[in-house]
Structure 1
């Protein structure tokens, strides 16, 4: 289905993006006229605001609800886990071989951060 530039403009004036117009017409099978005139659904979700204030990205919030089946309250309040630091990679970036890193941790009992950041020969 060809969408004319005028139809794109009409949709834009109604707050419908080109992407939404195309999706409605090509994927959902709507007529161009209906797709360009039907307003977007705007459903306010107070928990989405809470999630944002708690530093939880909207995509993470939505994934928790729709894929993990969490409640909106739980999805908006449980903190996001911080990415795991890969200490052997940090060690290599600091010029410390993986072998030296693992020996420091297993043989000498160093914590991973110290083992990955202390320059070789400095102690």
Structure 2
């Protein structure tokens, strides 16, 4: 890059003026934005949209001026849409995001709640590969059922170990 790349000659100012580029805009493009001079001179400025007529309507709809400008200039909306479309409710957006990121179907989740199955139990069952219908409908075991199951497992292990020991001794 050469130092003279930032120097703008009087002829270049004239050429830019013919293309609708003001001297101030030309200087900003060349010196601050580091455009090459040819592009800075040849590219016409963007046509600004007047939003004075829409400001009052936007404010009556609860849309602030900066939001109106952002919608028109950055998002490319038409002024009428930018001034009339209501702002998004954060709670509604959070609910939508939550539904989109849901891992398990909401219908089975509600069925599990209806059947008295805690959410944590339902999620653990799904994580362990249960069928969603079974995970949502099978009632959790009581403490006594868990105790009986544990007792049966211990009894089964003792039988298994005795047989194994008997075979090894025999």
Alignment TM-score, normalising by the size of structure 1: 0.41
Instruction: State the structure with bigger RCO (CA 8 A, min sep 6), 1 or 2.
Output: 1
Bigger helix share:
2
Q: Which has the larger radius of gyration?
A: 2
Alignment TM-score, normalising by the size of structure 2: 0.31
